[in-house]
Structure 1
Amino acid sequence: MATPTDEGRFARHRLIPGWNQDRLSAATVVVVGAGALGNAVVQALALAGVGRLLVCDPDVVAVSNLSRCPLFLPSDVGRPKAETVARALSRLAPDTATSARVAPLVSGVGLAELRDADLVVSCLDSRAARVELATRCNLASATMLDGGTHEWGGQVSVHPPGGRCWACGHDRSSLFVPDSPHSCAAPVRTLPEGASAPVSLLVGAWLANYAVRLLLGLPVGSRLLRVDAAGGAVPVAGRSLAEHPDPGCPLHERIEDADVTRLPLSARDTVGELLLRVDADEEPLTWTGFREAGSVRSPLATGTRLRAASPDTRLARLGVAPREILTVMHPRTSGLRYVELTGETAAAAEVGR
């Protein structure tokens, strides 16, 4: 048994019953959103000794972030949030390997990365972004831990594979109403919701606490956790997170491993190289639309059929994420299968791919 005189960075951790530092060191956590809540979460997870963090955010640091984000400095204004977080964590917790993805979720983190991660943490600020992440976590059978804040509190919920996802129980008509995430650097058209460092740090601490317990295989609450920073410090258990998914939830599609063909390609490879690996009458699809080569229908015309793109175009230029799993459709039979891009190395998947 460890004693208080044990040396080492994590000596105090080892005094906690149920704590397994080696298990944390071997863990990979994907964190989507690197704003105030994301800052609090990745800082705590890195200090706890999580081995690898993959941080995804398309936004840049704004002056308004500096009052709530402990990992951002005034000199970071205008720089990508994900890269800035990775750089700060390299100083704070050098044993944690942090990968930065400066891209929207679908273009930044592949389905195989979500599947292979030990945990996916949502630190997002819009309903539409959460629906998108929940959809991809369901496809990849990944555990999604979600947190959100409001002026004087927030909430935390956990959604394991095959169980109730973030969208379950929500009114279906509200799930697909666009509410684009607020860009901290964009011109202000509508005022964002008020936010403060104490609330972000408080909710972020609960998120990180749940994350560590999940990574250690320890139980967490089965109810939505509501953090009330105005009425009291004790979190309030909200609605039950039922074990089974809502039968009316439209997001519960799952990619079965038996339907996946693994290809030694990466997002750095071209459309032509991918097409050589599928049958001539099969149609590989992207998860996001791109401008079709030679399209004259409209300057905004987009498609998802990779055969419509120039064969010399790199997949990453069309929004294909590292280690993505792409859908392949057979037009005559309408049958579907999937191909996984397995050629991406950790180094190649960094920013600037």
Structure 2
Amino acid sequence: MTGDRFARHALIPGWDQQRLAEATVVLVGAGALGNTVAQTLALAGVGRLVVCDPDTVAVSNLSRCPLFRAADAGRPKARVLAGALADLAPGTVVDARTAPHVSGAGLAELREADLVVSALDSRAARISLAGRCTLAGTGMLDGGTHAWGGEVSWYPPGGRCRACGLGPAERAVQDDPWSCAAPDPAAEVGASAPVSALVGAWLADFAVRLLLGLSVPEAPLRVDAAGFAVPLSGAPPRDRPDPDCPLHERLPAEVPVLPLDHEATVADLLDHMDVHEEPLAWAGFSRPVRRRAAVRAVTSRLRSAPASARLSALGVAPREVLPVARRDGSGLRYVELAAAPAEPGGRQGDLTEARRATTEGVL
């Protein structure tokens, strides 16, 4: 077959196909919104997508997720999405990460991404991602739905984040996402194909405009099922962070890169630490308490893990930037993990082991 698949794009004022081809987008969430966003960005010609989602396809997803099929039930959403896009848009490289965002995409990867898109289903996960985007200095585009509509919001680097305007109690809410395969009836909310497609399309439209350097509405966009999309009136300026929001720390401009990646062991990492330093993981992991093996303690102190444990099994993401504290509390520095060797075809391996570590514990 001959011809240019992007020929019609070239007719659009302001469109730059090469710019999209060179772009990397980190997409967190591969459900209904994530499906529409991933499909649209791939069809638009975005060069690379990093897709993070620890969940598996459920039958209830099939009414709202155009990239899933009945035979995919029980398979990891991120992996299924990557396979579907390989056929639909072979020019887009998709890295499927079957892990939560904190274990799926490291801060160095977020820092180098052109855009982070949040298609998450919980406030806690959104706030966590907002904090990591702020650390990395990368803008976050967020979308969400309700029964008859939804909202799309852009949080630029250095401006307001998803947690700005929330009180301490709201920021502390731990509404962990529930699995579509085993939903908590109390957590279920209505969702439909038209609303998911509509909000997902607006989310993808914002993403393409941002990648092309075009403007998007200053205020969050409120979308309803009648097709109306209206900027939310009275929204505070997005370029002014809330002075009371704690999520506005930035990584240092220069972070040393260690000669090891996230598949290294704890012992390998400690070889690069002073004996008085405590390397920390962003995702807490479980370990058995020696005196009472039935009790598990959650910690982020990597010295507490077995020396032979791989960092990936403890929830450490690829290209992560780890905080390293002085054990006497006198200081903090950061170290960056190197990129792991790429697998054939340019796709990273799945991070199922990391997901298991952060949810079930590491022995």
Question: TM-score band (shorter)?
Answer: over 0.9
Amino acid aligned to 1:234: F
Q: Does 1:313 align with 2:309?
A: yes
Any unmatched runs of 5+ in structure 1? 1-5
Contact 1:27 1:215 in 2 (8 A): yes
Shift of 1:187: 4.6
Once residues 85 and 142 of structure 1 are traced to their aligned partners in structure 2, the CA distance between those partners, rounded to angstroms, is 24
Residue of 96, 107, 125 corresponding to 1:111 = 107
In the alignment, the residues of structure 2 paired with residue 119 and residue 77 of structure 1 have an alpha-carbon distance, to the nearest angstrom, of: 30
Q: Secondary structure at the match of 2:220?
A: strand
Once the 2 structures are TM-superposed, how far is the Cα of residue 292 of structure 1 from its aligned partner?
A: 3.6
Mark the CA change 1:187 to 1:146 in structure 2 (over 3 Å): closer, same or farther: closer
Q: For the residues of structure 1 that align with 2:258 and 2:52, how far apart are their CA atoms?
A: 24
* Contact 2:24–2:114, Cα closer than 8 Å, also in 1: yes
Residue 170 of structure 1 aligns with which residue?
Answer: 166
Contact kept in structure 2, 1:224 and 1:241, CA below 8 Å: no
Per the TM alignment, residue 334 of structure 1 is displaced from its structure 2 partner at its CA by 2.3
Q: Which amino acid is the alignment partner of residue 221 of structure 2? A: L
The equivalences for 1:134-283 within 5 A come to 134-229=130-225, 232-238=226-232, 239-258=235-254, 260-283=255-278
Query: Aligned partners of 2:288, 2:252: CA distance in 1, in Å?
Result: 32
Aligned partner letter, 1:315: L
Q: In the aligned structure 2, how far is the partner of 1:241 from the partner of 1:101?
A: 34
Give the alignment of 1:336-347 within 5 angstroms.
336-347=332-343
Match of 2:283 in 1: 288
Determine the structure 2 residue equivalent to 1:86.
82
Q: Is the 8 A contact 1:293 1:308 kept in 2?
A: no
What SS does the corresponding residue of 1:190 show, helix, strand or coil?
helix
Q: Quick one: distance in 1 between partners of 2:350 and 2:263?
A: 12
> Which residue matches 2:300?
304
Percent sequence identity over matched residues? 60
Deviation at 1:339, TM superposition (A): 0.6
* Secondary structure class of the residue paired with 2:296: coil
CA contact (8 A) 1:58 1:104 kept: yes
The SS at the match of 1:136 is: helix
CA drift at 1:182: 2.4
* Contact 1:68–1:197 under 8 Å retained in 2: yes
Match of 2:331 in 1: 335
Which is worse superposed, 41-50 or 335-344? 335-344
Structure-2 residue corresponding to 1:351: 350
How far does the alpha carbon of each residue in 1:27-84 deviate from its partner, in whole angstroms, 9 at most, with x for none? 0000000000000100000000000001000000000000000000000000000000
What is the RMSD of the two structures over their aligned residues, measured on CA atoms? 1.6
Distance in structure 1 (CA, Å) of the matches to 2:302 and 2:18: 43
Distance of 1:42 and 1:10 partners within structure 2: 17
Distance 1:9 1:222 in 2: 32
Q: CA deviation at 1:345?
A: 3.1
Do the aligned partners of 1:293 and 1:309 also contact (CA within 8 Å) in 2? no
Matches of 1:182 and 1:198 in 2, distance apart? Answer: 22
Amino acid aligned to 1:12: R
User: Over residues 147-189 of structure 1, what are the superposed CA-to-partner deviations in whole Å (9 max), with x where a residue is unaligned?
Assistant: 0001111000111111010111123311211112121001534
Letter in 2 for 1:284: P
The 8 Å contact of residues 265 and 310 in structure 2, kept in 1 or not, is answered as yes
Q: Which residue among 103, 121, 127 is the counterpart of 2:123?
A: 127
Distance change in 2, residues 1:333/1:193 (3 Å): closer
Q: Using structure 1 for the length normalisation, give the TM-score.
A: 0.94
Secondary structure class of the residue paired with 1:72: coil
Extract unaligned runs of 5+ from structure 2. Answer: 354-363
Structure 1, 179-188 or 79-88: larger mean CA deviation: 179-188
Change (3 A) 1:293 1:300: closer
Letter in 2 for 1:325: V
Residue 240 of structure 1: CA displacement? 3.9
What number of residue pairs does the alignment pair up?
345
- State the 1:193 CA deviation: 0.7
Find the aligned partners of 1:315 and 1:65 in 2 and give their Cα distance: 32
Amino acid at match of 2:142: D
**Which one-letter code corresponds to 2:231 in the other structure?**
A
